[in-house]
Amino acid sequence: MKKVIMGNHAVSYGVRASEVKVISAYPITPQTHVVELLSEMCANGEIDAKFIKVESEHSAMAACVGASAAGSRAFTATSAQGLLLMHEMLHWAVGARLPIVLANINRAVGPPWSIWTDQNDSLSQRDVGWLQIYCESNQETQDTVPQAFKIAEELQMPVMLVMDAFFLSHTYEIVDMIEKEQVREFLPPYKPDIKIDTADQHSFGNLAGPDHYMELRYMIQKAMDRGLDVIKRVDSEFEEMFGRGYGLIEPYRCDDAETILVTSGTVASTTRVVIDELRDEGVRVGSLKIRVFRPFPIEDVFEVLSKAKKVAVIDRNISFGAHGIFYQEIKSALYGRTDIPIIGYIAGLGGRDITPKVIREIADKAIGDEQPERYINWIGVKI
């Protein structure tokens, strides 16, 4: 069945289809619709889950940690300050190897207050050990929820689903709805071997000396390494069942492209429009959407980009004192294997629109600039 729904509700319906058992959340714009609909679903029995309405995002993640450790499938959603407040417990979920799924609606961080989109909230959580998947459409968002749980539960690692505030969260699109009866085949109920259980007592997370700690961290990295294959496999299983797959990355008209624009989130769709325009003009250009950011698909990215003559990365984020964060990742993925120029562009911070015109400007600059010297180019700054 197809319905016209907003991006936030695509998350809620994905959660419903995934038969989540415990939800815990705290209100924050622009995420709030996700959990509003979920509390309605909990109240009217559409979903057999308990909703813990906590007093902060820190507690939202802590409640998910407890519920997941007890062996139940747990979910939360947040944005910006909320995600930052969760930071400590994001680490806890990773160290405790809990397959929690979190939907983060990308919102710019204050001050000054901003409710509009950019990626600095989720990207500032880059190193905590959560898998991160950036979604582009409402359909992809809904479909990514059960995928995320399947990936998380196989790897015993938490997964963050990320989407743009307003450009996606509040935008209505046609979504082919997935239902739990169908999804159950794809995502069986969560039954972990090790959990809080009085019949099988363990002390979880107690003091580990230097003799043990490093091995536990090594195992987390090994799970991340395995993650790329697991994400690919889960995605193709989903595609087999539902006819839709998304991959780790999505190249668009890259085969003979001399210049490739690297994007993520909703910017990817706008960029494809610009690519078509440029192609019509005879310019050999393509784009590459990064869907999975952690673990970073180095080999897949390299395979696509290494055939180009120039790479331009559009970052809706900034690592102050360095560069755009996707830019750094791309540079690191290509380092030592090719000397293609990689140019970084910062655009759309705090929800400033990245229109086809803006992308065209970036493409023109990237294509025209024969010997780029700068790694960071600000687009549209009025100072």
Does 77 engage in binding with another protein (CB under 8 A)? Answer: no
285 forms beta bridges with 259
Whether the CB-CB separation of 291 and 250 falls below 8 Å is answered with yes
Site for another protein in 91-150 (CB under 8 A): 92, 96
CA proximity to 343, closest of 301, 311, 315, 365 = 311
C-alpha count within 13 angstroms, C-beta hemisphere, residue 282: 0
The residue (of 52 and 298) whose beta carbon lies closer to another protein is: 52
Q: Compute the distance between CA of residue 263 and CA of residue 250 in angstroms, rounded to an integer.
A: 10
SS3 265: coil
Does 196 engage in binding with another protein (CB under 8 A)? Answer: yes
Does 222 engage in binding with another protein (CB under 8 A)? Answer: no
Neighbours of 44 (CB within 10 A): 8
Does 218 engage in binding with another protein (CB under 8 A)? Answer: no
- For the CB of residue 22, give the shortest distance to another protein in the complex, in Å: 5
Whether the CB-CB separation of 167 and 266 falls below 8 Å is answered with yes
Instruction: Compute CA 197 distance to the chain's CA centroid, rounded to the nearest angstrom.
Output: 32
- Can you tell me which residue has the tokens 């050990």? 129
Instruction: Compute CA 321 distance to the chain's CA centroid, rounded to the nearest angstrom.
Output: 24
Does 240 engage in binding with another protein (CB under 8 A)? Answer: no
- For the CB of residue 68, give the shortest distance to another protein in the complex, in Å: 7
The residue (of 44 and 371) whose beta carbon lies closer to another protein is: 44
Which two three-digit tokens encode residue 152?
Answer: 């998380």
Which secondary structure element, helix H or strand E, spans residue 273, and what is its range?
helix 267-280
Out of 15, 64, 151, 346, the residue judged to bind another protein by CB under 8 A: 64
- For the CB of residue 42, give the shortest distance to another protein in the complex, in Å: 12
- For the CB of residue 372, give the shortest distance to another protein in the complex, in Å: 45
Out of 8, 18, 72, 147, the residue judged to bind another protein by CB under 8 A: 72
Which range touches another protein (CB under 8 A), out of 35-43, 109-117, 192-200, 254-262? 192-200
Which range touches another protein (CB under 8 A), out of 46-54, 123-131, 343-351, 373-381? 46-54
The residue type at 132 = Q
- For the CB of residue 25, give the shortest distance to another protein in the complex, in Å: 12
Does 71 engage in binding with another protein (CB under 8 A)? Answer: yes
CA proximity to 79, closest of 26, 39, 129, 127 = 26
Does 21 engage in binding with another protein (CB under 8 A)? Answer: yes
- The values of phi and psi at residue 101, to 5°, are -115, 135
Does 217 engage in binding with another protein (CB under 8 A)? Answer: no
Per CB under 8 A, residues contacting another protein are: 21-22, 24, 49-50, 52-56, 58-59, 62-72, 74, 88-89, 92, 96, 195-198, 200-209, 212
